[in-house]
Amino acid sequence: MELYISKNEKAKGKTVALDDMILTNEYPTTAGSKMLEGYMSLFNAEVVDRLKNAGYEIGGKANVGELCIDLLGETSYFGATENADGALMTASSELVKKGDALAAIGLDANGTPRRAAALNGQVCVKPTYGTVSRFGTISIACSGETVSVTANTVSAVKEILDVIAGHDDKDGTSLSEEKCALVKSSAEFSSAKKVAVARSITDSADEATKAVIAKAKAAFEAKGIAVEEVDDSVLLTAKNAWNILMSAELCNNVSRYDGVKYGYRTKNYTTIDELYTNSRTEAFGDLLKTAILFGSETLSTENYMKMYDKGLRIRRVLVEKFAEIFETYDAVLMPASTKTVYTKADTDANKYIAYDENLYTAPASITGLPVVVAGGVQLIGKAFSENVLFDLAKTLEGDGK
Amino acid sequence: MDREVLRRLEKLNQLQLTEEQKDAFLAFYGKQTEEMEILNTVDTENVERMVHVMPIFTVVREDKVIKKYSREDLQKGAPETTEGYWQVPRLVE
């Protein structure tokens, strides 16, 4: 499987790979779906223009799982990506690992870039919601998704975040320039003194993953940073609450793919209903169909209050729980996945595995809090505390593998 | 959820599942609703819904044209067009 769906053969120098969820007017944007095979955008995503204006070259569009909601890209219409060891790995993470790109820009709608970076021993930031423009990213779960940056080092991730963070009038959820500046490396910060370990979430992982958490804990303690376990039992609700909100938002966002104005159109139709239904049925994969139907059902008259409405209330409970933790601690340490390696056998046995693995990634997705992945673990901080997390991550970088 | 509800859900979302996909979806849905019970362990009766994680509400920018695409540009990705219009099957007999 080619890592790039579209490649810029001329790229040299400071090259950034884009997950194929980021719109570009030079290369097609497929979102890993038959629905958008060959789709050309008329414009670039804001992050692409910012990178190009700052002198970076776009290496191309990296293969992604369909609409980027899967575990590690396994649902791509163009084929799953496996690394040299036969493990599933996202294409953008592999491109960075191999040195083909300085960094990769992804869309963290369901934790995929964070999961990949943790498993591949890389550094990744999911910045505070609203600090990087989502204009020109393919919408999935608008209330929680963010643009993410993956690289092999903390310094490379910071370099790219400095370029892409900032207010954008074209994104209605973009924060003020003043707020966005808080996540850049020039902002002042105090180094972390205390880190909390999310006990229940860590206990849910396997022994190898727990060992990675223990290693991170030991590394922090060696630097004089106190590390203590906290009761995080309420954070266990984030998975199911986010599964509801993400699917509900996704079901609305993908309703635009109907085979009329752009994208795939079936050849098998005589009526408009057949055109819609057969185009979507033939173009969408199993996981996406499931997510659409599930999301739609969470919004039904019968289920709205007990599912969607409940999810929105749980979101506030989670935001308040994190705020309570951050009264004492500077960051929350937790795994990014149950295991340290996934193969096709895992996703063949459970094609909905990403919904289960949200246990680890949903707490930050649903709350919009920043996360830095390094050394195979997630560090979640309060809003705009990216520099605190990067500072902690320097202790861990390179330790993941 | 029974197959009749699922059939309505498919119709609503303009999708058609195979029998195998229907079985898989019903099993998935059953698992999700079972797991969702964890949400009821948290009393949210007096908790306000949180739609936005950041305090941003109804952002409106000045209503002005900032970029204009031609009809040809906008229809470049269309599966079928005719005389400058998107073409679909006859809607009204």
Spell B72-86 as b/e; 16+ CB within 10 A means b. Answer: eeebebbbeeeeeee
Residue of chain B minimizing CA distance to A294: B29
Report CB contact under 8 Å: A237, B42.
Answer: yes
Contacting residues of B for A280, CB less than 8 Å apart = 13-15
Contacting residues of A for B78, CB less than 8 Å apart = 260-262
Measure the CA–CA gap between A326 and A338, rounded to whole angstroms. 25
Residue of chain A minimizing CA distance to B52: A143
Residue of chain B minimizing CA distance to A264: B79
Report CB contact under 8 Å: B89, A311.
Answer: no
Task: Please tell me the distance in Å from A191's CA to the nearest CA on chain B.
Answer: 25
Which tens digits make up the pLDDT trace of A351-383? 999 999 999 999 999 999 999 999 999 999 999
- Counting as low any pLDDT under 70, the low residues of chain A are 398-401
CB A149 within 8 A of CB A105: yes
Measure the CA–CA gap between A283 and A270, rounded to whole angstroms. 18
A181 vs A55, A107, A142, A145, A275, CA distance in Å?
20, 21, 22, 20, 47
Phi, psi angle pair for A62, to nearest 5°: -85, 140
Report CB contact under 8 Å: A273, B14.
Answer: yes
Q: Are strands A331-335 and A377-380 parallel, antiparallel or unpaired?
A: antiparallel
Contacting residues of B for A311, CB less than 8 Å apart = 39
Nearest to B47 among A39, A316, A367 (CB): A316
Which of A290, A296, A366 has the most B C-beta neighbours within 10 Å, making it the best mutation to test the interface with B? A290
DSSP letter assigned to residue B38: G
pLDDT of residue A398: 62
DSSP letter assigned to residue A66: G
Here the tokens at position A180 are 């966005």
Task: Please tell me the distance in Å from A65's CA to the nearest CA on chain B.
Answer: 19
Measure the CA–CA gap between A133 and A175, rounded to whole angstroms. 9
pLDDT of residue B60: 79
pLDDT of residue A401: 46
Q: How far is CA A254 from the centre of its chain?
A: 18
DSSP letter assigned to residue A48: H
Contacting residues of A for B10, CB less than 8 Å apart = 293
Length of chain B: 93
Q: Which residues pair with A6 in a beta bridge?
A: A61
Contacting residues of A for B86, CB less than 8 Å apart = 260-261
Size of interface A-B (CB pairs under 8 A): 151
Contacting residues of A for B67, CB less than 8 Å apart = 43
Report CB contact under 8 Å: B79, A262.
Answer: yes
Biggest CA pair distance of chain B: 59
Task: Please tell me the distance in Å from A240's CA to the nearest CA on chain B.
Answer: 6
Residue of chain A minimizing CA distance to B17: A281
Taking alpha carbons only, the member of A294, A172, A318 closest to residue A245 is A294
pLDDT of residue A400: 45
Report CB contact under 8 Å: B50, A319.
Answer: yes
CB A345 within 8 A of CB A228: no
CB A59 within 8 A of CB A26: no
Contacting residues of B for A278, CB less than 8 Å apart = 16
Residue of chain B minimizing CA distance to A170: B61
| Helix (H), strand (E) at residue A114 | helix A112-119
CB A3 within 8 A of CB A95: yes
Report CB contact under 8 Å: A319, B53.
Answer: yes
**Is residue A379 helix, strand or coil?**
strand
- Sorted by sequence, the CB contacts under 8 Å of residue B33 that are 6+ apart come out as none
Task: Please tell me the distance in Å from A310's CA to the nearest CA on chain B.
Answer: 7
Give the number of other Cβ atoms within 10 Å of residue A7's Cβ.
18
Which tens digits make up the pLDDT trace of B7-40? 999 999 999 999 999 999 999 999 999 999 999 9
Report CB contact under 8 Å: B56, A234.
Answer: no
Biggest CA pair distance of chain A: 70
What's the angle, vertex CA A227, arms to CA A223 and CA A233, rounded to 5?
155
Contacting residues of A for B26, CB less than 8 Å apart = none
Contacting residues of A for B73, CB less than 8 Å apart = 42
Report CB contact under 8 Å: B24, A275.
Answer: no
Amino acid at site A4: Y
DSSP letter assigned to residue A307: I
Report CB contact under 8 Å: A40, B54.
Answer: no
Measure the CA–CA gap between A87 and A267, rounded to whole angstroms. 37
pLDDT of residue A323: 98
Which of A171, A179, A236, A240 has the most B C-beta neighbours within 10 Å, making it the best mutation to test the interface with B? A240
Give the number of other Cβ atoms within 10 Å of residue B55's Cβ.
7
Report CB contact under 8 Å: B39, A310.
Answer: yes
Taking alpha carbons only, the member of A349, A285, A334 closest to residue A69 is A285
Phi, psi angle pair for A123, to nearest 5°: -110, 135
pLDDT of residue A53: 98
Contacting residues of B for A292, CB less than 8 Å apart = 13, 15
| Rg value, chain B, Cα | 23
Taking alpha carbons only, the member of A276, A245, A285 closest to residue B11 is A276
Q: Which residues pair with A106 in a beta bridge?
A: A148
